Amino acid sequence: MAQTVRFYETGGPEVLKVEDIAVGDPGLGEVRVRHGAVGCNFADTYFRSGYYPSPLPAGMGVEAAGTIVAVGDGVAGWAIGDRVSYNGSPLGAYSAERVMPAASLFKLPDAVSFEQAAASTMRGLSATYWLARTNPWLKAGDTILLHAAAGGVGLLAVQLAKLMGLRVIGTVSTEEKAAKARSLGCDEIILYRSEDVVERVKELTNGEGVGTVFDSVGQDTFEASLKSLKRRGVLVGCGTASGPFPPISAFQMARQGSIYFTRPAFADYYADPAERAELSGLWFDHLTAGRIKVEIGQRYALEDCVQAHRDLEAGKTIGSSIFVIEE
């Protein structure tokens, strides 16, 4: 038996239920993983609320790190005792132990702890493909606008951007979050609750605007993101914490200065084995070498999952949130 979190209906955090279930043996192409730590991501709330549809009842969570304790038939390249992390479907990461497809796994370097991996596999790999792939014209010396710069992905993206030689303007809600983003390299901070984002971006770029905006907030920041772009800039719609992006017309994009808009998905950048290896290698190399600091702002037990989701949705978190699994 293993502790796990499930939900039988969509709704608020209160629909999450903590249960003990039988794990079972891995089948064809599967492994059983004993978790050391589990990621708690804002995207998890999308499944719980029904914004991302999922057959019910369902497990919760897509990211964790741990050790392989059993290997099913047809699995090559993995063995009992291997340290792994993962991000992706099927749901069920909020658990002490689970059976899952071996194809979802990343080999975890010995220098990276389970907590670091659970706090950064999804976030770090997301930040990596955002910066390395979504705007092919992005280069050292360019200025970017990064919303939610003190969030779990934001703090990692700030550090990756600085390693790439980029100037980073970050938006945050509080002075506490501003201090955290600055401490990890954010060049300029905009306190979006008290400052006009577009005006400040124009001030900081001599009226030109930025070449790339990474917007993980969505509905509430969409207009400001568009207006912060310079001619032929790229708006990367990489999250919808405040709600989905509104429709954008081709004519609007032309009037804005021949801008580009992309709404990328993690799976599309990690589907090709060669690209998956290249991007994950880039991320884990940075982590192993200590060039990236993983900020874990909140640690919870699985039985505190309801409170964890409340904290996420209230914007109370700084850095990454994880569930710590007791041995």
pLDDT digits (tens, 9 = 90+) for 169-178: 999 999 999 9
Residue 288 counted as domain residue: no
Q: Which region, left, alpha or beta, applies to residue 250 given φ > 0 means left and ψ of -120 to 50 means alpha?
A: alpha
pLDDT at 40 exceeding the cut of 80: yes
CATH of the domain at 68: 3.90.180.10
Residue 272 counted as domain residue: no
Prediction pTM value: 0.86
Q: Which region, left, alpha or beta, applies to residue 258 given φ > 0 means left and ψ of -120 to 50 means alpha?
A: left
Cα dihedral value 121, 127, 132, 134, nearest 10: 120
Greater model confidence, 219 or 27: 27
- Reported as a single tens digit per residue, the pLDDT across 277-309 is 999 999 999 999 999 999 899 999 999 999 999
Number of folded domains in the chain?
Answer: 2
Same domain for 112 and 22, yes or no, is: yes
The torsion angles phi and psi of 230, rounded to 5 degrees, stand at -85, 175
Q: Give 256's pLDDT tier (boundaries 50, 70, 90).
A: confident
Same domain for 167 and 239, yes or no, is: yes
Last residue of a domain, one of 213, 244, 263: 263
Greater model confidence, 208 or 246: 208
Residue 129 counted as domain residue: no
Lowest mean pLDDT among 172-176, 206-210, 240-244: 240-244
Q: 143, 190 in Cβ contact below 8 A?
A: no
Query: Which two tokens mark 230?
Result: 């310079």
Q: Give 62's pLDDT tier (boundaries 50, 70, 90).
A: very high
Same domain for 253 and 304, yes or no, is: no
User: Structural domain of residue 65, as residue ranges?
Assistant: 2-119+295-324
* Segment 146-172 mean pLDDT: 94
Q: 297, 318 in Cβ contact below 8 A?
A: yes
Query: Which two tokens mark 117?
Result: 């991996």
Taking the C-alpha atoms of residue 194 and residue 187, their distance in angstroms, rounded to an integer, is 19
* Segment 234-253 mean pLDDT: 86
Same domain for 144 and 259, yes or no, is: yes
Residue 273 counted as domain residue: no
Same domain for 257 and 142, yes or no, is: yes
Query: Which two tokens mark 19?
Result: 């249960």
Q: 45, 311 in Cβ contact below 8 A?
A: no
Q: What is the pLDDT, as a whole number, of residue 217? A: 87
Label residue 202 exposed, middle or buried (CB < 10 Å: 0-12, 13-18, 19+): middle
Q: Which strands make up the sheet holding 2-7, listed edge to edge? A: 16-21, 2-7, 58-59
